[in-house]
A and B are shown apart, each in its own frame.
Chain A
Amino acid sequence: MHSEKASWGLKLAAWGGLVFLHFPIAIIFLYAFNTESSGFSFPPQGFTLKWFGVTFARADVLEAIKLSLEVAAIATLIAMLLGTLAAAALYRRHFFGKESISMMLILPIALPGIITGIALLSAFKTLGIEPGLLTIIIGHATFCVVIVYNNVIARFRRTSHSLIEASMDLGADGWQTFRYIILPNLSSALLAGGMLAFALSFDEIIVTTFTAGHEKTLPIWLLNQLARPRDVPVTNVVAMLVMLVTMLPILGAYYLTKDSEGVAGSGK
């Protein structure tokens, strides 16, 4: 039996762990408002909003944001379609090869991103496809499918199959059942999966490094900034924005699925 109260040591370790996880993120938010124009000195000398204006006047930043949004939106749509199809096929019936298929869907995030990245690159090179927008999207969609798939299949499994039978029993054919029963029951899980996929794609750098060619998504733009530490304030502002875009969806996904199941996204 465990005592009702945790020991001080355990409490300290647990809360200390949370501080450890959040402190560097807080630093990013802090530095975005730093008045200094170079260097990382701590504590900051003062706070200002002026770097936001500077950042949004930079053509290269806006280009990168636009490209990242474009890629994330299209990759998410593809992932939602493929992930839902796969979940619908795999959630109930048993057939030969089912395990291998679900394994294959997980592979792109189970294996290090570098493998997916260089494999795609070598295939594109072999086929003579020039790296660019299309190849970035293909890479992102591939590892986003499993995020949508996990969320949707969890919902499918939780939804009583007799709902589908009841709908058909009452006279609805497959299309009507999909539109009036399956889709409404799936929608929040689908949306949650889509948001997580979007966040994952928006932030991805390892696969993208290989598939981007000369294109610069926002994370790649950031990485290049780190190698050449010029205009630190702009980098700080962009870093904070990217942080927000990737963190907020997890909150949204949590609230969309909290009454049913945990967010099925614990494999990024």
Chain B
Amino acid sequence: MTVAVQFTDVSRVFGEVKAVDRVSIDIQDGEFFSMLGPSGSGKTTCLRLIAGFEQPNAGSIRIHGVEAVGLAPYQRDVNTVFQDYALFPHMNVLDNVAYGLKVKGVGKSERLARAEEALAMVALAGFGGRKPAAMSGGQRQRVALARALVNRPRVLLLDEPLGALDLKLREQMQSELKKLQRQLGITFIFVTHDQSEALSMSDRVAVFNKGRIEQVDTPRNLYMQPATPFVAEFVGTSNVLRDGLALQLSGSDNPFSIRPEHTRLAGSEPLGSDEVEISGLLHDIQYQGASTRYEIRLANGQNFCVSQANNQWQLGDAPVQPGQQVTARWARAAMVSLRREV
């Protein structure tokens, strides 16, 4: 497998703010790669560095082995789907899609044929004559996709492209994007702040925080083996215990993470030798259908969350009430030791 995009010690500073701070990544050719993080974490800046809208202050960016630092966007073999789609309002849909071919000097009949083809690929055949303003959000999104793909880029950049769509449309587009990526076999680099979107679509995910990468891994590893407290808490829900509590429960003062669904409320049975437990005041119960969440306040004031599957079909009685003292218990092996926060 070859490397599609390679960052080596890339930094981008805006005034005092280090938007991207010594980031290194290898993105493999043909992979669906997501950049995940809260807003301001540097993920979008990384995408813009690849597209060429920003230039790094330091470091090297290689796109298919070619140094891209100093190249303008139009000198790079990548295309972008913008968050606001950025469709040209004064052109109809077909001209929008054909634009990239036009400025590269492709003849009129060929570029219109290829644009029609690209529109058909995103299920918009026959919509070429419309103005972008006359289309729905979902349709505009597809036009933006077709406009980027018609240039047959080796890398496609997607900047939170589904953010403006409603939930149902978003789920539909997620699976379509994934299918398209497999079918075309090109690298997709997808920026999002939605962790479930990143997990469900990607081959690998890079988690960004404060301009740096916390972890790059497959969705499964990211969830099961988070490397840092930030990743543990940002990807899914997790209980991160630190310092004294960590030392007492795990024998090490490194922080550790335990997922709520890997814990249970202890009954009267004795504590197993491979188990640990912690007690606190139950202050809230959230019934969520397939599972129930129990919020426990520990002695140090921290919240601890237990999630139990409702896998019994009998109605039964609610086992506990808020205000009771309860104990959460879990297998020692389920704890994931985390890197210390800097």
**CB within 8 Å of B: which residues of A?**
160, 162-163, 165-173, 176, 180-181, 184-185
Contacts and interface: CB of A to CB of B under 8 A. Distances in A.
Contacts of A167: 88, 99, 103
Interface stretch (B21-29, B79-87, B278-286, B325-333): B79-87
Q: Pick from A160, A163, A171 the residue with the most CB of B within 10 Å.
A: A171
21 contacts: A160-B84, A162-B82, A162-B83, A163-B86, A165-B82, A166-B86, A166-B88, A167-B88, A167-B99, A167-B103, A168-B53, A168-B74, A169-B51, A169-B79, A169-B80, A170-B74, A170-B100, A170-B148, A171-B151, A173-B103, A184-B90
Given A170-B103, A171-B100, A165 B72 contact: no
B89 interface: yes
B86 A185 contact: no
A165 B84 contact: no
Given A163-B86, A163-B89, A165-B80, 10 more contacts: A160-B86, A162-B84, A165-B51, A166-B147, A167-B103, A169-B79, A169-B148, A170-B100, A170-B147, A173-B103
Interface in B95-113: 99-100, 102-104
Contacts of A162: 82-84, 86
Contacts of B82: 162, 165-166
B256 to A, nearest CB: 43
Contacts of A185: 89-90
B73 interface: yes
Nearest to A187: B90
A173 B71 CA distance: 12
Given A165-B53, A165-B73, A171 B86 contact: no
Given A170-B79, A170-B103, A171-B103, A165 B89 contact: no
A180 B87 CA distance: 13
Contacts of B52: 168-169
Interface residues on B, range: 20 to 34
Contacts of B78: 169
Contacts of B87: 166
Nearest to A163: B86
Given A162-B86, A165-B86, A185-B89, A172 B80 contact: no
A235 to B, nearest CB: 46
A142 B103 CA distance: 37
State the 6 A-B residue pairs at the shortest beta-carbon distance, nearest first.
A170-B100, A166-B86, A162-B86, A168-B73, A172-B103, A184-B90
B57 to A, nearest CB: 17
B90 to A, nearest CB: 5
Contacts of B100: 170-171
Q: Pick from A162, A169, A173, A176 the residue with the most CB of B within 10 Å.
A: A169
Contacts of A173: 72, 74, 103
B194 to A, nearest CB: 20
A167 B95 CA distance: 12
Nearest to B53: A165
Contacts of A160: 84, 86
Contacts of B104: 171
A169 B88 CA distance: 13
A167 B72 CA distance: 12
Contact of B103 (A163, A176, A184): A176
Contacts of A171: 74, 100, 103-104, 151
Interface in B16-61: 51-53
Contacts of B84: 160, 162
Q: Pick from B103, B104, B148 the residue with the most CB of A within 10 Å.
A: B103
Nearest to B150: A170
Q: Pick from B79, B86, B99, B104 the residue with the most CB of A within 10 Å.
A: B86
